[in-house]
Structure 1
Amino acid sequence: MNISLLGLQARHPSAPAHAAPALQALSLQLVAGEQVAIIGPSGAGKTTLLQVLACAQRPTQGVVQLGGQDPWRLSAGALRRLRGQLFLAPQVPPLPPRQRVVTSVLAGRLPAMGWLASLRSLFYPSDIPVAYEALRHFDLDDKLFERVDRLSGGERQRVGLARALLAPASLWLIDEPLSALDPMRARLAMTALVGLARARQTTLVATLHQVDMALAHFDRIIGLRDGQLAFDLPSAQVSRERLAQLYDQHEHELRGDAGPVADTPPAEPLPAVMHCR
């Protein structure tokens, strides 16, 4: 799916009226089938950009075109169909705690299913081998019939990524997919995600704090800072000097001092939030 942004401005929904917009005068062009990493310090506007691209947040100014369509000029039905072509994987995936992993993964197909088939799939999962194969890409096939609330944070994050492989989407929007993964599983997840996107010619936009992963797996890197475009370059041209300037005053993020969140079970299940489109 082609993406065109012109003079985009967007404000975080919870931001006070006097706060600066999360995105300011942002213009970008992505061609269908391209894979792009977005990097930048915390508060740069990376997640807000994904929310705008997912048609989950309306910009306050500027033009957004997805596949040649302005989402906010479409009828309700046409907007719903466009959203069915998009897959947004938030940093914390909204997975129902008591649901089986196989059901959560197969839910990626819901936009292409009718109401009756969707309801049936909640109780009688079909295409179990397909779910197994999607999980296998993220070293999670042994958790096929586990309950979601028995998974660690990193395992839940990988279930959210596996859903993308089943979604009838031409645009994957992935927010911080490695935040809860150890280095080995982070490399495995990134290799699978980018490799499959390229093989399927799916447009992939991923936000990453792990700069080394972005440079290793993506051909194009977009740097955001304070809601503005700092650079848009081939990965081979992203120098240490540019990164130092991008992360000025945020050197700990560039170094990755915080490290990945331990891939261990949480103390108690987290509540699930479902987004219907």
Structure 2
Amino acid sequence: MSFVESVVTNLVANIAFWLLLGAAFLVGGRQVERRMVRFFAMHRSRRIDVYLSNTALPRPDGRPRYSLSLHEFHAAQAVDKLVGAAPLRLPELVRGLVDGIWLRRRISSRVAVSQAANGAELTDSCIVVGSGARNLLRRFAVMEGIARATIVRELSTDLASHAVGEEVEVAITVGDGGQQSIKAVKNIAVIEKSTRPDGGAAAFYCLGVRADTSWVAVEYLVRNWRRLAKQFKDEDFIIVLGSAWEADYFADYPEPTLLAAVRVPRS
């Protein structure tokens, strides 16, 4: 075989290899994409909004003042990583190729601070981070009875509403007003999926006793959404998680204990 023929053969073989590899990951990527769109109910916009809490109090004259929790910022980063260009977490060898395929129908996220107290943002799929103490969108969901799971005393603006080592209670409303209570001496986190009646959007409420466990809730959702999608399919659910109490806020993600997984009938 001549040098030219050898070069052409190798070139054709390489092109064929990358085309086959691209086709294989295109099929796999589209399957992940469809499952993600279905689970997060992103049929309308192919985007999920992340609403963080405003930890600052208003100025004396009533003008707003904004301050974000570092842990909630980490939560937003986790969501952005999930819906990024290559969600299959592929090695660098093929990431550029798959990114090029994936970007043709990219799913995106948008981060904002909860501001409106009328729940207008709930018309689109979103992840609401933090309790009703500082997140106005979450507060609206609790006050209007949209949220089925609440941490007892979560609407208190007292940052020390739960002391380290204290028992925490989560109240859950299921079915036709039935009540269920989950109690544990844990740093509690809650994840709730609440789908709009028309099925066009869903809100994921991710909150904890503290900002670090609100981050734990989001991180758990990001890491386990495939399993949750398989377990609950299109149904709403409530997940209650517990982490060991620590005086200092978590610097690294602690794998929490699953305390409860509740299937919620749609209203």
Instruction: Give your verdict on TM over 0.5.
Output: no
Higher relative contact order (CA closer than 8 Å, sequence separation 6+): 1
Q: TM-score, normalised by structure 2?
A: 0.29
Larger Rg: 2
Structure with higher strand content: 2
Q: TM-score, normalised by structure 1?
A: 0.29
